[in-house]
Amino acid sequence: MRVRVRAVAVGVAVVLVGLAVVLALNVGRDPRADANRSQLLGQPSPTYDLETLDGAPVSDESQIGRTVVVNFWNSWCIPCEQEHDALVAWWAANRDDDAVTMLGIVREDTRRAVERYVRDEDVTWPVAMDPGGRAALAFGTRGQPETYVISPSGVVVASQYGPVTVANLDDMVAAAERVG
């Protein structure tokens, strides 16, 4: 009897130590960190077929041949506001470069709010609504802002969850241009 109690106690202890190690490994780690790595990297660009606020059609096929920065955003999200200046600065530096372009796709917002934001906040790059959220789904987005960079040949080369900076936009675009 005595031996059995001890044996069971030791067994339980081993399991608990294992559990404790697993838990300890996770202390201080953001549980979402890895979940937010895009599954699309290296894959062909998801298809999308949208219309910009000006009424121009835009799709994955129409963008082939250029590096495309696809930025999912909306007017109410605070991290989107945080990256706004970076987007404006990057666009100012690159808008005349025919080899790259940027497309803002609206995630979970109303057209009215978006149009007001575009007018008030100097959004001069093309912005498209995403009726039914199909493009957001096709990219596997989990929130906003999310940014994907697609190479001229139509491969998803880089992605960023959360606000971008000018430097990491440049890095992602450079990577896409290397892929070609």
Partner 1 sequence: MADTSTARNRIAWIVLAVLVLGAVAFSLWPRPGADSVAGRTRSLAREFRCVDCEGLSVADSQTASARAARVEIRRRLEAGESEAEVRAYFVDLYGESVLLKPEGTGIGLVVWALPVVAVILAGAGIVVAVRRGRRTPRLRATDEDEALVARALGAEHGTDDRADDGDER
Partner 2 sequence: MESAIGVLAIAIGAGASIVGIASLLLGLRRSDDRLLATGRRCVLAVLLASILAVGVMEWALITHDFSIRYVAENNARSTPLLFTVTGLWAALEGSILLWVLILAVYIALTVRHFRDRASEPLVVWATIVMLGVSLFFFLLVLGPANPFELTPGGAPVDGRGPNPLLQNHPLMAFHPPMLYLGYVGFTVPFAFAMASLITGSVGEGWLADTRRTTLVAWGFLSLGIVLGAWWSYEVLGWGGYWAWDPVENASLLPWLTATAFIHSVMVQERRAMLRVWNLSLVIATFCLTILGTFLTRSGVVNSVHAFSQSSIGGWLLAFLALSAGSGLALIAWRGDRLRAPGRIDSALSREAFFLGNNLLFVAFAFVVLLGTVFPLIAEAVQGTQLSVGEPYFDRMTVPLGLALLFLMAVAPVLPWRAASGEVLRRRLLVPAWIGGALFVATLVFLARSLPTALAFGLGAFTISAIVQETWRTVRARSRADAVGRGRAAWRTLASNPRRYGGLTVHIGVVCIAVAIAASNTFATKAEIRLRRDASVTVDGYRFTYEGSRTTRSAQKTTVSADVRIERGDRDLGTYAPSVSTFPNSNQAIGTPSVRTGLTTDVYLTLVSSPNARGRITLGVSVFPLVVWIWIGGALIGLGTAVALVPARTRRVLPESTPAPVEEPV
Summarize as ranges the residues that interact with partner 1 (CB under 8 A): 35, 37, 39-40, 107-108, 132-134, 136-138, 140-143
Which residue number, 31 or 178, has a Cβ lying nearer to partner 1? 31
Stretch that binds partner 2, among 27-35, 60-68, 97-105, 139-147 (CB under 8 A): 27-35
Q: Positive or negative CA dihedral for 119, 125, 128, 133?
A: negative
Site for partner 2 in 104-133 (CB under 8 A): 110, 112
Backbone angles phi, psi at 173, to 5 degrees: -65, -40
End-to-end C-alpha distance for the chain, whole angstroms:
72
**143 touches which of partner 2, partner 1, none (CB within 5 to 8 A by kind)?**
partner 1
Cβ at position 35, least distance to partner 2 in Å: 5
Cβ at position 33, least distance to partner 2 in Å: 10
- What distances in angstroms separate CA 154 from CA 27, 70, 101, 126, one per listed residue? 39, 12, 13, 19
For 46, which DSSP code?
P
User: Residue 9, interface with partner 2 (CB under 8 A)?
Assistant: yes
Q: What angle do CA 30, 137, 157 make, to 5 degrees?
A: 70
Cβ at position 156, least distance to partner 2 in Å: 19
User: Residue 178, interface with partner 2 (CB under 8 A)?
Assistant: no
Query: Cβ(50)–Cβ(70) under 8 Å?
Result: no
Residue from the set 10, 89, 113, 137 that interacts with partner 2 by CB under 8 A:
10
**141 touches which of partner 2, partner 1, none (CB within 5 to 8 A by kind)?**
partner 1
> What is the C-alpha separation between 34 and 22, in angstroms, rounded?
16
User: Residue 19, interface with partner 2 (CB under 8 A)?
Assistant: yes
> What is the C-alpha separation between 119 and 41, in angstroms, rounded?
33
